[in-house]
Structure 1
Amino acid sequence: MGKAKGDLTRLRNRRRGPIWAAVAGVSALGLALSGCTVGGSSAAGDDHQLVIGFVSTQTGANAAFGQANTFVVDQIRTYLKAHPLVVDGEKYDVKIVVRDAQSDSTRAGDVAAELINSDNADVIVASSTPDIVDPVSEQCEANQIPCITTVAPWQPFAIRSGDKPADLKYSYHFFWGLEDVSAVYADIWKQVANNGKAGGLFPNDPDGQAWGANFPALTKTSGVTIKNPGLYPDGTKDFSAQVSAFKGTDVLVGVPIPPDFTTFWRQAKQQGYHPKVATIGKALLFPSSVDSLGKIANNLSTEVWWTPTAPYTSSLTGQSAKQLADAWEAKTHQQWTQPLGYAEALFEVAIAAVKKSGSTNPEDLVRTLAHLDVHTIVGEVHWGADPNVPPYIAKTPIAGGQWRLTKGGKYPFDLVVVENKLAPEVPLGGKPEPLSRDE
C-alpha cells in the first residue's frame, strides 16, 4: 500500500499554500455538477479513498465535447457502487468531483487548481481540445499531481512553445497526432477526384495554429496543395473572405469549432463555393452539428476516433463499444457521440493506474503511468510503447468517416467509416463519396 491518505494530505497542504493563494477566493458554490462530491480525501475515517477530479466541458462553444460526460460519470459511480474498487486487498471509496471549464482556458486552469487545493484530488482527468487539457496539465505539473488527459492531438498538448516537447513529469495524455489525422484525410482525398487544390480553414486557437502550421507538409505527398488565407478568430460571423479565397479549390480542410463551421458552410453554399470533398476536424465530430446543417451536411467528412462498430471493450465495466453507445441512446434518447468512449476511457486508465501501483501516492502513480498498458473501450492505451512520441504520450487508433443522410433511419445522419488504414480492426461501412453541388 502507498502512504496513508492523512499523511499525503498534510504534505500537499504544505506544498500548495504559497503557490495558489491567488485562487483561494474562488468559490466552489455552483461549480460542481449535480451529484458531484465535494470535500475529498481529507475526510475523517476515509484513509482508503480515491478522489478523481474531472475537468469537464459542459457549457460554452465546445460544449458538444462534454455532452456525454455527466452520463459517463453517473455510469461509473453506479458501477463502482456495485463493484467497489479493491487495491491490494483494501476496499477504496471512489469519489468523482466534476468541474465545468465552460470551454474557457483560464477557467480550466482555475477549476483544476480548485480540485487540487480544495477537493484534495489524487488524480485529475480532463478532455476536449488543447484549450482545456493544456492549462489543466500546467496546474498539475506545478502542484505535482498526476494528470490524465485526452481528446486533443498530442502535438499541441506536448509542444506549447518553440518546437520541442515540454518536459512533463505528472501529465499523461492519450490520443492520436497530426501525422495520423493528416494521413486519414489525405487518403480520403485520394479516393475522390479533385484538382489538387485545397482551402485551409484554420482558426487562431491552439488546434488551428497546429493544424495550419503542420498540415501542408504532412499532406504534401498526397498531391494536394493547401491554401491558407490566414488564421481567423473563433466566433467569426462573416466568412466571405475565406469563401472567396477558397473558390477554385476542390478540397476543404480545417478544424473550426462547431458553431463557426455551421456559419461557414451555410455562407459557402450561399456564395457558390462547392468543394468536392471536405474533411473537417472538431466541428463535424458531433451529430448535433451535422443535424443543424440539414441535407447540405451529406458526405461531409471527419476523423473517427471512436465508433460503436469498433471491436473494443471497457476494461472496467466490460461493456463493448456498441453496448456503451446503446446505453447512452437508451438513457438520453440522443445519437451516440464520439467523446462518449473517451470519457469512459479516462476512468478506465485512472483506476487501472491506482490498482497497478497499489497506491494513491502521486509518485507511485506517475511511475505506473509511465509504462501503463490498458486495453480500453477506445483501443489500447500504452505509454512508453512508441519511441516517436514523448514518453508521456500514448497514441490511439483513428479512422475516417462521412456523414450520410439516412432514409427513414432512427437519426437523420449516420457516421459511416470510409477509411481505416491506421485502424484496420474498425470495419469499413463504405467508400468516400464526393459532395453534391445540389445539396
Structure 2
Amino acid sequence: MKKVLHKAGVAGVIIMVLILLLAALPACGGGPEVPKEIVLGTTIGLTGMGAGFGQGGAFGLKAAVDDINKLGGVYVTEYDSKLSVKLVILDNESDPAKAGTLTEDLLVNQKANFLLSPPQWPPFIAAMATVAERYQTPFVAFAGPFEPNNALRMAAGPWKYTWESGFAIGAPPPPGDFRNIPGYTMMDLWMAFLGKYAGQTNKIMGAFASDDPDGRGWYEAFTGALTAAGFTIIGKDKELGIAPLDTTDFTSIIKEWQNNKAEILIGNAPGPWFGTLWRQARTLGYKPKMVIAERAAMIYSDVNAWGGDLPWGVTALVEWVPSIKAPGIGDTTPESLDARWKAETGLPTHQLVGSAYGQVQILLDAIERAGTLDKQKVNAALAETDLMTIRHRAKYDENQFSRFPICFGQWFKTSGPQVWDFKVIYSQHDFYPPTAEPIFPLP
C-alpha cells in the first residue's frame, strides 16, 4: 500500500509540474509572448536654458507616436502583430548630469526598449549615449552639428549604439555620398550668403561662443574657415568672445569688437546667453551690419524673450520648415504637423518639431525591418536605414551620422500677435525655397 501511495504521490507531483509548465507557455501555439507595447524613452530639457528647444522637440516626438498608434502601432514579424508605442519623457532641466541619470532611470525603472532624442545640445546627447552604450541599447538622436558631436563620439570609444542626425559645420560628406553637394554644411550657406553682402562690409568680424562643447566646436570650425576666406576675426588668437554659460557681463568683449569696427557678428550660444550679450551690445551702441546667431536665434520663444526689437534682422540656420515636400506617418504632412503645433500652443512654426518627429520615424522603421525588439538586431537594422522622413532623406554614414539639408533664415517684425516671424532668406535646395528677401544692413 505504501508503494502505491508513493507512486501516486510521485505521479501527482509530475502532473502538477506539467500543468505549471503548460501554464507558463504563451497561449498562441507556443510562440513568443506578445509584449503589451514598445516603450521609447527620452530625457529633454523642458525647463531651464534649453526649454525653447525642448518644447518643440517633445511635441514632435509625441505627434509621431500618436500618428503610429492611430494606425494600430508597429508591425513586428516575430509576434505577427502590431504593437502600440508608449513614449516616456523625463525633464532633465537642461542639466547634462541629470540627463545621464534620467536615461538610466528610463532603462532600469521605466523599462524603455529603446532611446531617442529630439534636437538637443551635444553634452545632452553624450550623456544619453554613454548610458545607451552601457546597456547596449539603440539610441536615435537629432544631435545637430557633426563636428562637436563626432568629437565626443570618438573620445568615447566610439559609441556603437548611438545613431545621430544633423548637419555639418564645415566637414564634407564622405566621397560618393549623395549629400556631397551644397546645402548640407553651414559653411556652404555662410560663404554663399556672406558672398552676397561681404563687399558692403569691411569684412571684420566679432566671433562669440558659449564655453561648452557646442559653442567651442562651432568657434574652432568657423573662425579658421572664415579667416581662410579673407575675413578678419577680432581676437581669434586669444579666443575673444568665448565665455562661460553663466556670464552676465560681456562689456569687455563688446568694446573690443567696437574698437576694431567689427561689422559682422557671428557665433553659437544658447538663446538666453546671447540675449544678454546682444542687449548689452546695443546698450553700448554697438550695431554691426549683420548678425548670425546659431542656436540662439532658432526658436521663437528664445528670441522673443530678448525683448524690444533685438530679434529684428538676426539670422540663423533653418533646419525644417513646413513647406518641405516630405512624408509623415499616415496622412500627416509637414503642413498638417505645423498646424497641429500652432493649434495646441498658439505659437508660430517651431522648426524642431519636424526634426524630432523624424527621429521616431527612423527608429520605428528599423524596428519594423528588424522584425523584432531584439536590441542587437534593431541596431543592425539602423545601419541599413535609407528612409524619407518628414525632415528629408535619412541615411547613416560610416560615422553613424545622417546629414540633413539646411537653409538660412532671418527674423522679421510683424504686426500680428506673434511679433516675430522666421523666414527663409537663402537656400541651396529647390524643396526649401526662400520666402523673403534678406534685411541688410540690420534695421
* TM-score, structure 2 normalization: 0.82
Tell me the amino acid that sits aligned with residue 139 of structure 2.
C
| Aligned counterpart in structure 1 of residue 323 of structure 2, from 292, 309, 332 | 309
Contact 2:204/2:233 (CA < 8 Å) preserved in 1? Answer: yes
- Cα distance in 1 for partners of 2:187, 2:61 equals 32
The verdict on how the C-alpha distance between 1:115 and 1:306 changes in structure 2, with shifts beyond 3 A counting, is same
Tell me the amino acid that sits aligned with residue 104 of structure 2.
A
**CA offset digits 1:295-332 (Å, max 9, x no partner):** 23211110001112222221x24322222111110111
Q: Aligned pair 1:231/2:232, yes or no?
A: no
C-alpha displacement of 1:191: 2.0
Q: Aligned pair 1:176/2:176, yes or no?
A: no
| Aligned counterpart in structure 2 of residue 356 of structure 1, from 357, 369, 372 | 369
- Cα distance in 1 for partners of 2:203, 2:422 equals 26
- Cα distance in 2 for partners of 1:265, 1:435 equals 16
Residue matched to 2:224: 217
Q: How does 1:187-336 map to 2 (within 5 A)?
A: 187-192=192-197, 193-227=200-234, 228=236, 229-247=240-258, 248-292=261-305, 293-314=307-328, 316-336=329-349
Bigger radius of gyration = 2
Contact 2:39/2:85 (CA < 8 Å) preserved in 1? Answer: yes
Contact 2:92/2:99 (CA < 8 Å) preserved in 1? Answer: yes
Tell me the amino acid that sits aligned with residue 431 of structure 2.
E
Residue matched to 1:400: 408
The verdict on how the C-alpha distance between 1:86 and 1:153 changes in structure 2, with shifts beyond 3 A counting, is same
C-alpha displacement of 1:221: 4.7
**CA offset digits 1:117-149 (Å, max 9, x no partner):** 112222100231102111101111121110011
Secondary structure, in 3 states, of the residue corresponding to 1:140?
A: helix
Secondary structure, in 3 states, of the residue corresponding to 1:219?
A: helix
- Cα distance in 2 for partners of 1:395, 1:320 equals 21
The verdict on how the C-alpha distance between 1:148 and 1:70 changes in structure 2, with shifts beyond 3 A counting, is closer
C-alpha displacement of 1:48: 5.4
Tell me the amino acid that sits aligned with residue 54 of structure 2.
G
| Aligned counterpart in structure 1 of residue 433 of structure 2, from 422, 427, 430 | 427
- Cα distance in 2 for partners of 1:375, 1:239 equals 44
Q: Aligned pair 1:154/2:161, yes or no?
A: no
C-alpha displacement of 1:77: 4.2
The verdict on how the C-alpha distance between 1:305 and 1:363 changes in structure 2, with shifts beyond 3 A counting, is same
Which segment is superposed worse, 102-111 or 165-174? 165-174
Contact 2:59/2:341 (CA < 8 Å) preserved in 1? Answer: yes
* TM-score, structure 1 normalization: 0.83
**CA offset digits 1:248-276 (Å, max 9, x no partner):** 11111111111111111111111111111
- Cα distance in 1 for partners of 2:395, 2:58 equals 26
Residue matched to 1:376: 389
C-alpha displacement of 1:358: 0.8
- Cα distance in 1 for partners of 2:124, 2:330 equals 27
Contact 2:60/2:355 (CA < 8 Å) preserved in 1? Answer: no
- Cα distance in 2 for partners of 1:140, 1:164 equals 16
- Cα distance in 2 for partners of 1:58, 1:46 equals 34
Q: Aligned pair 1:123/2:128, yes or no?
A: no
Residue matched to 1:26: none
Secondary structure, in 3 states, of the residue corresponding to 1:296?
A: coil
C-alpha displacement of 1:46: 5.2
Which segment is superposed worse, 328-337 or 221-230? 221-230
Tell me the amino acid that sits aligned with residue 86 of structure 1.
Y
RMSD: 2.0
C-alpha displacement of 1:98: 1.1
State the aligned residue count. Answer: 385
Contact 1:191/1:432 (CA < 8 Å) preserved in 2? Answer: no
Residue matched to 2:399: 391
Q: Aligned pair 1:65/2:53, yes or no?
A: yes
Tell me the amino acid that sits aligned with residue 149 of structure 1.
A
- Cα distance in 2 for partners of 1:223, 1:337 equals 35
C-alpha displacement of 1:344: 0.8
| Aligned counterpart in structure 2 of residue 87 of structure 1, from 62, 67, 76 | 76
Identity %: 23
Residue matched to 2:27: none
Q: Aligned pair 1:185/2:186, yes or no?
A: no
- Cα distance in 2 for partners of 1:430, 1:61 equals 30
Which consecutive segments of 4 or more residues in structure 1 shift more than 6 A? none
C-alpha displacement of 1:291: 2.2
C-alpha displacement of 1:188: 2.3
The verdict on how the C-alpha distance between 1:74 and 1:171 changes in structure 2, with shifts beyond 3 A counting, is closer
C-alpha displacement of 1:164: 7.1
Tell me the amino acid that sits aligned with residue 327 of structure 2.
T
**CA offset digits 1:135-191 (Å, max 9, x no partner):** 101111121110011142122212128x87852211100100111123322322222
**CA offset digits 1:190-239 (Å, max 9, x no partner):** 22221111111111101111011111223345422223415201121111
C-alpha displacement of 1:102: 1.1
Contact 1:55/1:111 (CA < 8 Å) preserved in 2? Answer: yes
Tell me the amino acid that sits aligned with residue 208 of structure 2.
L
